[in-house]
Chains A and B, each alone.
Chain A
Amino acid sequence: MRDTIRFLKAGEIIELQNVGPTETLLDYLRLTRRETGTKEGCGEGDCGACTVAIGRMINGKLVYQPVNSCILLLGMIDGAELVTVEDLAQDDRLHPVQTAMVELHGSQCGFCTPGFIMTLFTLYHATDVEKSRKTVTEWLAGNLCRCTGYRPIVDAALEACFRATDDAFSWRANETKERLQFLADSRDIFIGDDTGFFSAPSTLDGLAALYGQHQDATLIAGGTDVGLWITKHLRELPKMIWLGRIEGLDRVEESASGVLIGATATYAATENAVTQISPDLGELWKRIGSKQVRASGTVGGNIANGSPIGDTPPALIALGATLELQSSEGSRALPLEEFYLEYGRQDRKPGEFVTGLFVPRLSSNQAFRCYKISKRFDQDISSVMGAFRFTIEDGVIVASRIAYGGMAGTPMRAAGAEKSLAGATLDNPSSWGAAMQALLSDFDPLTDMRASSDYRMETARALLAKSLMEISGTAPEDIRVLARREADNDRAA
């Protein structure tokens, strides 16, 4: 048992004894350390002004990822290297990404700039990235700038981020790795007492025991949802159990039948595996939150919290994913759609927690499409999310799984449309009509700030039609605006 958290900053190991259960990393930096380079822009992980870099050993490599420090708990950086904007310049010599931002006029008011610098720092250290505008804009989706219009920042990224690394962090990488390995112990962390604590068990059994004892505790994986309970809902959460140290819970296992995603595997860690299932799923993954959100946020956490802002569940439901849960009483599995009982309520018993999700691969006679419709392409929440898996034999749809987000209080299958589509043929669009009609009675969507009920219904129907047009090849031309945009970006790069 350890009653401290430990991390590396600017080459020094820092050990903290007083870590509150809801203390954010940003507050620690600004209020305790008085390092004010890192800014608070929104306090909900959407603007990126508070971005810092977190270095961890991933598959034997030192990887820097951008995270939103406003909604990351201080305790969650245990075992990591923390890099903030203050750490980049060496002996008054700017870091290459800083130099490029100055020379290419990448700052105006400057308030978002430290966050951009830190995201660019992580891109600078990223390996296996292609030098392109698309890479850069994907990387920068979680950093909002209201002054520049982004062009000079994108230019600075292209200028500085795709060279061989040559900074203090690359020079001392071996030393950093050693120190991180030193920090990587397997002790449980528990700071506080029975009335209030920050804890991080290192085994599933330890979690089951602790959670069994404190069923009123809050489980936190990536914190991209729970963080807002703290910064925005101002909830009192005296007992915090962080899942990030549980050995093996972040597993991503690919097999011939599918992909097993451990509960604490982040979106970032699963991106490659899900892209193998379907390119559409890969595209969807890239539009979940931002780099920062995907580096912290977990697929399991999004499901377990039943977050209404889940863009992945419809796709996972259409693919036939199953959820695995465990408690001190034992474990069970259920189809993902059955987990969602109603708005804000899931089939999770006291003391029970999600351990993983299994996503089956498509068989050779299955086709899958998914579409996310939102006001903005990047880092937005869908107004309508449609996902479609059709099993096709000789041009006839013999089975379909159709799931939507934004159409009801939970992600939901379109039972009527699925049924009506059985026997429809791909080469005869008029045979799809019954399913299009059935959608009208499958759902009664709400009007809210993202879209009206009418638009949601019309779009849900349009997406079903679009998926069938694409799969059947009845659309002679490309019918997605995003695909066109990517092509434009490639040409310009």
Chain B
Amino acid sequence: MTAPLDREQVTPPLKHIRKPLPHDSAIKHVSGTATYIDDIVEPVGTLHVVPGWARHAVRGRLLSVELNEVRATPGVVAVLTSGDVPGTNDCSSAFGDDPVLAEEEILFFGQVVFAVVAETREIARKAALKAKIEVAPITPILTPEDADHADTTVLPDYQFRRGSPETGLQASENVLSGSMFIGGQEHFYLEGQVAMAIPQEDGGMFVHSSTQHPTEIQHTVAKVLGVPDAAITAEIRRMGGGFGGKESQANQWAALAALAARKTGRTCKMRLDRDDDMIMTGKRHDFKVNWQVGHDASGRIRATDLEFLARCGYSADLSLGVNDRTMFHADSSYFYPDTLIRSRRLRTDTCSNTAFRGFGGPQGMLAAERMIDAIAIHLGKDPLEIRKLNFYDGDRNVTPYGMPVEEYEVMHDLMSGLEVGSDYWVRREEVTAFNAASAVLKKGIALTPVKFGISFTLKHLNQAGALVHLYTDGSIHLNHGGTEMGQGLYQKVAQVVAEEFGVTMDKVIITATNTSKVPNTGPTAASSGTDLNAMAAKIAAQEIKTRLVTFLCEQHQCGEEAIHFGDNKVLIGDKSFSLSEIAKQAHVGRIQMSHAGFYATPGITWDRDSVSGRPFYYFAFGGACAEVTIDTMTGEMTVDRIDILHDVGHSLNPAIDIGQIEGGFVQGMGWLTTEELVWDEEGRLRTHAPSTYKIPTASDLPADFNVQLYESAGNPEDTVYRSKAVGEPPVMLANSVFCAITDAVASLIPGEVPNLNAPATPEAIMKAVQDMRRRKVPS
């Protein structure tokens, strides 16, 4: 598997790679000139589309949909219902179970029943309120437990089994068990869902969509309109945040905009109101996890049995991959000799849960950390000791799904680096001393690992294309299938292309992702954007360069070794030409200066049906140490200090990578602390705006926030310049915060494992505290 390190790739002279260059759009961001879809100058006559829905219904049969008053509103041009769909009324990624417009049934609170098309957005929004929708309600199934009892699923159960967990548990010196609830998470991309469809000749459609997956937008619009894929073009220059929430969830709005454009023959734009967005679109899956762990007297795990009950919502969406990834990460970084990891993909009458940075991994890992904490608390040992004892190592390095953890030494080195760098043991003593002296406030500390598998577990998605043109003035047009959502992908790929051609960054012109330039792409997801697209772009640039070199060798009667690209020039022996001169000569020489590069990740052999093979190209590692203080009277909590060490291989751009690490961590911290999704008893989401759903603010970040890149010897796999993916792994660094809170609560009664659920809101912390106090029975 492991390719030898190429010194050329990891050491200077590199002009652009490894430089902390700003985001390609940074100046436009701060100037307000970066164009998002709602900022695009609208064609004359653009109409606005607003979704209409049954505002009280959760689940039930549609009895009547009365839209006359909506239609009669001045300024309303059209009202769309499922009958207006010329093609297939479905916007799902794969399973055919996501109606664009409801047909006979309301499946969840917020399902779109109709769409209003009007001259202004305000007219459309107000008109949409005039609909009268009658629904014969049926009692909805809302929680994973209810769905489990009712045995309703969106997809079949799936499991990993190794050895005999039953025997293993029996043979263990001690067995611990428990359950925990892990909440979901709203993406809260700052730019909400938006699409604009512009009708083209012959029934075609040009669709601007804020999407992580333009190809799926293209396919969905074609399917809904009943036209060939080739008649549809989808384009996205940048999103105002995605985080997984625009991987499949952008489809419906693009489809509705296109449907409206088809119906009216005019450009139609659909931008969701924030509340509608939060109500209608899917979120991170919430789980109930039942766990059992058998261990020996030292705390070493002998066997585990984990059951993950996921709330998937009303349809399958991406729940297959998400829940598989939960299972792939249910080991965190620990070796389970005998294990059973079971997953139920439960169908509930709620919005359809979807991709969210980490894609199920964070929930799997959090359950593993809970087991470790339980063992440590039970044995009266420090959780870090138990973590280290159970880390994968040279002898015990095969995951429950059969893939070896080849880089276990990196993991050990990183974790001990963090243990020293964070001064863990000294601070553990300080925390203990603080707690001894403080009755109301209690501190906790935790140091937790991250090991995240890199690759789509759906094998065919691990491919990418790029389109590179060299023009005769020496400027380079760069296009690829990856999308920019803030993660700096465009900049990283541009750095790779500039490096390849030996040009300054300004010569590489970044262009919007467009399905007519690079077709059949996968989503920008699974942290794979750079691994895939930078590689494809590199291949495209190399091919053009190779053609130029061949041409120049002929022209100048020299060998390849005499030709060098650099500083916007081409050196041929002792002669120097500008790249534009060479490009002009090549053009005159009838050399093709455009190439579509293609890359497919090697070595992935996962076969889901037989539960065998290798799902991941490699693992990315990280670790975080968190210290918190809780108030045992109110449940309030502050994060006091964070230390992070994270492995990005050889960084392509350390500034961008650190941005991903910090941002991912804080997003994960929000998921586990302040961000609580609340449905009422009827199944209506009550937290559908930032007034009620609280993502972290600047002050939630501790002043003492130390983030460092691990000094890596480079990715052992042959990735682009030996870098590692960084998009998702940092989210799970925040598990340290949750474990630190657990540690603080655990300080109340030695030996008792707190029943802390996520998110650890003040109320959840108080519940755990009170539960501990109740256990303090007189002896």
Query: Is B407 engaged at the interface, CB distance under 8 Å to the other chain?
Result: no
Q: Which of B58-66, B359-367, B500-508, B688-696 contacts A (4 or more CB under 8 A)?
A: B688-696
- Among A103, A105, A138, max chain B CB count under 10 A is at A105
Contact residues of B: prevailing secondary structure: loop
- Taking the closest CB of chain A, its distance from the CB of B681, in whole angstroms, is 9
User: Among residues 72 to 129 in chain A, which have CB atoms less than 8 Å away from a CB atom of chain B?
Assistant: 84-86, 88-89, 94, 98, 101-103, 105-114, 117
User: Among residues 384 to 439 in chain B, which have CB atoms less than 8 Å away from a CB atom of chain A?
Assistant: 437-439
Query: Is B608 engaged at the interface, CB distance under 8 Å to the other chain?
Result: no
In Å, the complex CA distance between A393 and B762 comes to: 35
* Set of chain A residues within 8 Å of B512, measured between Cβ atoms: none
User: Among residues 18 to 75 in chain B, which have CB atoms less than 8 Å away from a CB atom of chain A?
Assistant: 20, 22-23, 25-36, 38-39, 41
* Set of chain A residues within 8 Å of B761, measured between Cβ atoms: 375
Contact bitstring B682-705, A, C-beta under 8 A = 1, else 0: 000011011110111111111111
- Taking the closest CB of chain A, its distance from the CB of B186, in whole angstroms, is 10
* Set of chain B residues within 8 Å of A484, measured between Cβ atoms: 441, 629, 638, 640
- The chain B residue with its CB closest to the CB of A236 is B126
User: Among residues 286 to 303 in chain B, which have CB atoms less than 8 Å away from a CB atom of chain A?
Assistant: none
- Taking the closest CB of chain A, its distance from the CB of B22, in whole angstroms, is 5
Determine whether the beta carbon of A482 is less than 8 Å from that of B705: no
In Å, the complex CA distance between A493 and B636 comes to: 24
Q: Which of B197-205, B461-469, B481-489 contacts A (4 or more CB under 8 A)?
A: B481-489
- The chain B residue with its CB closest to the CB of A105 is B655
User: Among residues 170 to 227 in chain A, which have CB atoms less than 8 Å away from a CB atom of chain B?
Assistant: none
Determine whether the beta carbon of B441 is less than 8 Å from that of A479: yes
* Set of chain A residues within 8 Å of B192, measured between Cβ atoms: 41
User: Among residues 215 to 239 in chain B, which have CB atoms less than 8 Å away from a CB atom of chain A?
Assistant: 238-239
Contact residues of A: prevailing secondary structure: loop
Determine whether the beta carbon of B440 is less than 8 Å from that of A479: yes
Known contacts being A36-B38, A462-B633, A481-B631, is A94 close to B30, with CB within 8 Å?
yes
Query: Is B11 engaged at the interface, CB distance under 8 Å to the other chain?
Result: no
Interface residue range, chain A: 35 or more
Determine whether the beta carbon of B662 is less than 8 Å from that of A149: yes
User: Among residues 149 to 200 in chain B, which have CB atoms less than 8 Å away from a CB atom of chain A?
Assistant: 187-192
* Set of chain B residues within 8 Å of A105, measured between Cβ atoms: 20, 22-23, 26, 655-656, 658-659
- The chain A residue with its CB closest to the CB of B39 is A36
Query: Is B370 engaged at the interface, CB distance under 8 Å to the other chain?
Result: no
User: Among residues 479 to 493 in chain A, which have CB atoms less than 8 Å away from a CB atom of chain B?
Assistant: 479-482, 484-485, 488-489, 491-493
Determine whether the beta carbon of B674 is less than 8 Å from that of A47: no
* Set of chain B residues within 8 Å of A88, measured between Cβ atoms: 31
Query: Is A234 engaged at the interface, CB distance under 8 Å to the other chain?
Result: yes
- The chain A residue with its CB closest to the CB of B485 is A109
Determine whether the beta carbon of B699 is less than 8 Å from that of A42: no
- Taking the closest CB of chain B, its distance from the CB of A187, in whole angstroms, is 30
Determine whether the beta carbon of A108 is less than 8 Å from that of B659: yes
Query: Is B5 engaged at the interface, CB distance under 8 Å to the other chain?
Result: no
Determine whether the beta carbon of B636 is less than 8 Å from that of A482: yes
Query: Is B320 engaged at the interface, CB distance under 8 Å to the other chain?
Result: no
In Å, the complex CA distance between A481 and B700 comes to: 12
- Taking the closest CB of chain A, its distance from the CB of B313, in whole angstroms, is 19
Determine whether the beta carbon of A234 is less than 8 Å from that of B125: yes
In Å, the complex CA distance between A144 and B191 comes to: 12
- Taking the closest CB of chain B, its distance from the CB of A198, in whole angstroms, is 16
- Among B26, B242, B441, B488, max chain A CB count under 10 A is at B26
Q: Which residues of B contact A (CB under 8 A)?
A: 20, 22-23, 25-36, 38-39, 41, 125-126, 129, 187-192, 238-243, 273-275, 437-441, 485-488, 629-631, 633-638, 640-641, 655-656, 658-659, 662-667, 674, 676, 678, 680, 686-687, 689-692, 694-705, 707, 761-763, 766-767, 770
24 inter-chain pairs at a CB distance below 8 angstroms, sorted by A residue, are A36-B39, A42-B689, A44-B689, A46-B690, A47-B190, A49-B190, A101-B30, A102-B22, A111-B241, A112-B190, A114-B29, A145-B190, A146-B187, A146-B188, A147-B659, A151-B662, A151-B705, A378-B700, A379-B697, A449-B676, A449-B687, A466-B440, A481-B636, A484-B638
